Amino acid sequence: MRQEELSLEEQVERIRRKRAGQHDNTKIRMVLNTLFLALAAVGLAMYFFGGDNHVPALCVIAAGMVLKVIEFILRIV
């Protein structure tokens, strides 16, 4: 059956059935996003209040960015 021949409700129901078979990774994404926000806040605090050596703060921020990239990849998959 062609897509144009289906009503809007039938198209939505077809999409819902297709997505129901996929793995729901919302909880994992929420945890990764929360960890990213926490690491970003800690890294910024370390950067501005940690003295002249910014390398540890940048490492914490980089770790948060790695988590954000993983979350982004899970969103696409």
What is the extent of the structural domain holding 29? Answer: 23-76
Task: Kindly tell me if the per-residue pLDDT of 4 is higher than 70.
Answer: no
> What are the two backbone dihedrals, phi and then psi, of residue 50, each rounded to the nearest 5 degrees?
-95, 5
Task: Kindly tell me if the per-residue pLDDT of 63 is higher than 80.
Answer: yes
Does residue 2 belong to any structural domain of this protein?
A: no
The more confidently predicted of residues 33 and 5 is 33
Does residue 5 belong to any structural domain of this protein?
A: no
Give the pLDDT score at 11. 87
Does residue 10 belong to any structural domain of this protein?
A: no
Read off the pLDDT band of 21 (50, 70, 90): low
Under 8 Å between Cβ of 29 and 75: yes
Number of domains composing the chain: 1
Under 8 Å between Cβ of 36 and 64: yes
